[in-house]
Chains A and B, each alone.
Chain A
Amino acid sequence: MSEVKEREAAGAPPGAAGPASGVGAPLRRVVPLRGLPVVAAVLVLLVVALVGNWLWALDFAHVTGGALWTSIDLFVGLIIGPILGRLSVPARIEFSKRFMPAMLLIMPTLVTVTLSAGVQLARHLGDFTAATTHPWIVAALVVISVMGVIALGILEPANLAVLFELRKPRPNGELIGRLMRRFIATAGIIGVLQVATLVIMTRLATL
């Protein structure tokens, strides 16, 4: 019996393609477990810096976290996004299987580190209360809030929905395409907002 007939006999709908063809095997894990110790280590270092009011570590965490966050958002939204949009659906799915699990760990970690360290740093430097810096801090909060709503409200749910779809033996290409378009569009909007953050942060640093 052919592979297709075997699947139809097992209850698969007629015309369905199997996991072995085109898009490869289904995604095994949504969360890449190998990355969890790294995330835990970063968060422990962050807590140590926060509790100890370790100014250099807070500055390091805020600057490196923010640089990575901004760079990844800009790269994904403005470079990867348009390239991905021109790929075939199976190619997009193969890319997503490797890309999305990594993003699931990297982005929330970067956001948590950058924002927690940044707020504490601003408090130490008196940026919340100084007349010259306070308006820029408020502007940064507004921009970051908009980015947070887009990232947590649209981007991350779409990311996870794609990952769960990729775990199916026959992922729905139309659904993945729709969710990936949402992912790429919101990443692009966040990328543009990140440019605004860069303007605000460099202005704050030179006041």
Chain B
Amino acid sequence: MSAGAAGDGVSSGAAAQDGHAVPELLMSRRLPPVGVMAVTSLVLVLAAGIYLVVPVPEAAPLAPAAALLGVSFALLVSAAVMLSRVRPFAWARFFQVSRWTLLVYAIIGGVIEAVVILDGARGPMLAIATISLLLFAIAVPLNIAFTVARYADVAQARGDP
């Protein structure tokens, strides 16, 4: 059965030809690459972590890891700024999803942070780990909330802040 066949309870491109163009519009909208930037930010955080583990038991210089985290942070801020300029957008749905996913990833990040502290990390190494976890706990919810909200109905997009 094809998508949108009459009676299947599913809207599709066929429905768009009947004047119901909202789903097509949502799927083809050109939006800033917020998701790509958030995922790239996450990749940089993971790269910094791997960089620090590779020379163990020797200590790696922290500057390259800090630089990777700096770029990651800059990407997240840029993504947030670009996203804030998008109109119309399903802001209500975005904040609903980001609130809960932030909570979930804060818990996950908190568990990992506890492990890092229990393992005796102190000083700059603890700072790097904490910043990495903060970026992780922001990048993932940002990407998830953006992906969900970009496909939300236009009616929900009226929930602009």
Interfacial residues, chain A to chain B (CB-CB below 8 A): 13-24, 31, 43, 46-47, 50-51, 53, 88-90, 93, 108, 112, 116, 119-120, 123, 128-129, 134, 137-138, 141-142, 145, 148-149, 152-154, 156-158, 160-161, 164-165, 168, 170-179
**Contact B53–A161 (Cβ < 8 Å):** no
* A175 & B27 in contact (Cβ 8 Å cutoff): yes
Q: Are the CB atoms of B119 and A123 closer together than 8 Å?
A: yes
- At the interface, yes or no: B19 with Cβ under 8 Å from chain A? yes
CB proximity to A under 8 Å, residues B134-158: 140, 143-144, 146-148, 151-153
Whether A14 pairs with B3 at a CB distance below 8 angstroms is no
Additional A-B contact list (17), CB under 8 Å, known A15-B14, A116-B115: A16-B15, A17-B6, A18-B9, A22-B10, A23-B9, A51-B118, A90-B9, A120-B118, A120-B119, A138-B53, A149-B39, A152-B42, A153-B38, A156-B144, A157-B143, A157-B147, A165-B151
Chain A CB within 10 A, most for which of B14, B26, B38, B118: B118
- State how many angstroms separate the Cβ of A143 from the closest Cβ of chain B: 11
Which one of B67-75, B77-85, B105-113 is at the interface?
A: B105-113
Chain A: which residue is nearest B57 at the CB level? Answer: A129
Shortest Cβ distance from B111 into A: residue: A116
B4 nearest CB neighbor, chain A only:
A173
Cβ of B153: which chain A residues have Cβ within 8 Å of it? Answer: 168
Task: Tell me whether B123 is interfacial, beta carbon within 8 Å.
Answer: no
Do A138 and B54 form a contact, CB below 8 Å, given A164-B148, A172-B11, A174-B27? yes
| B144 and A157 contact, CB distance less than 8 A | yes
- Shortest A183–chain B CB gap in Å is 12
Q: Which residues of B contact A (CB under 8 A)?
A: 1-4, 6-15, 18-20, 23, 26-27, 35, 38-39, 42-43, 46-47, 49-50, 53-54, 56-57, 93, 97, 100, 104, 107-108, 111-112, 114-115, 118-119, 140, 143-144, 146-148, 151-153
Tell me if A175 and B56 are in contact (CB < 8 A): no
A170 and B10 within 8 A (CB): yes
**Are A19 and B9 interface neighbours, CB within 8 A?**
yes
- The distance from the CB of A174 to the nearest CB of chain B, in whole angstroms, is 5
B15 near A13 (CB under 8 angstroms)? yes
Q: Are B1 and A160 in contact (CB under 8 A)?
A: no
**Chain A residues in 8 Å Cβ range of B148:** 157, 160-161, 164
Complex alpha-carbon distance, A177 and B38, angstroms:
24
The one of B12, B19, B20, B39 that contacts A174, using a Cβ cutoff of 8 Å: B12
Name B20's closest neighbour in chain A (CB-CB): A13
| Complex contact B7–A160 (CB within 8 A) | no
Roughly how many angstroms separate A149 CA and B35 CA in the complex, as a whole number? 12
Q: A171 to B151: give the CA distance in the assembly, Å.
A: 11
- Measured between beta carbons, the chain B residues less than 8 angstroms from A14 are 18-20
Whether A134 and B1, one on each chain, are in contact in the complex, defined by CB atoms closer than 8 angstroms, is: no
CA–CA, A31 and B101, complex, Å: 12
Q: How far is the CA of A157 from the CA of B101 in the complex (A)?
A: 11
Q: Which of B18, B115, B118, B140 has the most CB of A within 10 A?
A: B115
A-B contact pairs, 10 of them (CB 8 A): A15-B15, A22-B7, A50-B115, A88-B8, A154-B39, A157-B144, A158-B147, A170-B9, A174-B27, A179-B151
Knowing A22-B10, A173-B11 touch, does A50 contact B111 (C-beta < 8 A)?
yes
**Residues on B with beta carbons closer than 8 Å to the beta carbon of A20:** 9
Contact A21 B42 (CB under 8 A): no
